[in-house]
Structure 1
């Protein structure tokens, strides 16, 4: 993982706010509660246990100096108006999640919605790195969408606790192989980012 959390007060956040048309960026305090990737369900359970409301938006992380990435996310608005993130963090963090609030997408809970991420290059170098990462990650996301569609068509129910994937039909075997290939591309794209960062440090 090469992503770092960007504090809501950081200079890059102003650029991200202008780019997204959302904002201002807010900080949500991270609490250890539920696993990464299950943010919608984690928030539901947190609200059931402690109160508050589930709200949605875009979590902001970045490869410093290269590009920012916005992932659809959910946090909890506590009764005092503060934000809490009950999901294990994505990338390196400082105890907070930076989020641009946006309730225009409110996903159902039957299957992961798999919304596309948003990417913002910070420089020409960043644009090249961003393109490699975005293309590989988006291809992988499309494979996940197809796997979910197969599961739905076979009547396989999904839940974060019980999901083990659809029956391994021939098409699913093919998709699993394609998924592994995209994982290799993502790793190669991350290595490319690291090579740029290392070169910039030594120059």
Structure 2
């Protein structure tokens, strides 16, 4: 977000609730940043967000939602509740957000979704994080279906693999820092602004195999 603000763009960011660093950024630069609170797994909260944004327009809608499971948990071992939690958060909810907010994106504008390199079926040669992988692969498939029914001439749609980043989700052992990943994510998204169609790419702009 700070990358876009520093480039002079106005950003409406979201968080699940409670005070976050986003609120601190918005407090120091309210003319450039607004923060909305929404749990994207709650359809009523998504609908309420849409109502609050009515009449606005955006050049980019970027949806970032993700939770993970234990690295060694296999599909047969995981509880049904945990399976549902990952699938709803990682695969279903981003499509619900897109469906609710896509009409606010200007013609030819971009829709981006935070995916993962682990969503690649072709690259899955080591296993691990089985349900997380499956949820991101499902997300990729759902977005591909969305583009197929929407039409590729309506602006770019980007599935972004940010790399393995040291966040609450990526963990302390991840290879990249936020400072390593985020500038590349922003630069890659900006490079695809005039390229309609579906793109599955990483933070360095490289195509990720399906």
TM-score (norm 2): 0.27
Q: Which has the higher contact order (CA 8 A, sep 6+)?
A: 1
TM-score (norm 1): 0.28
The structure that has the greater radius of gyration is 1
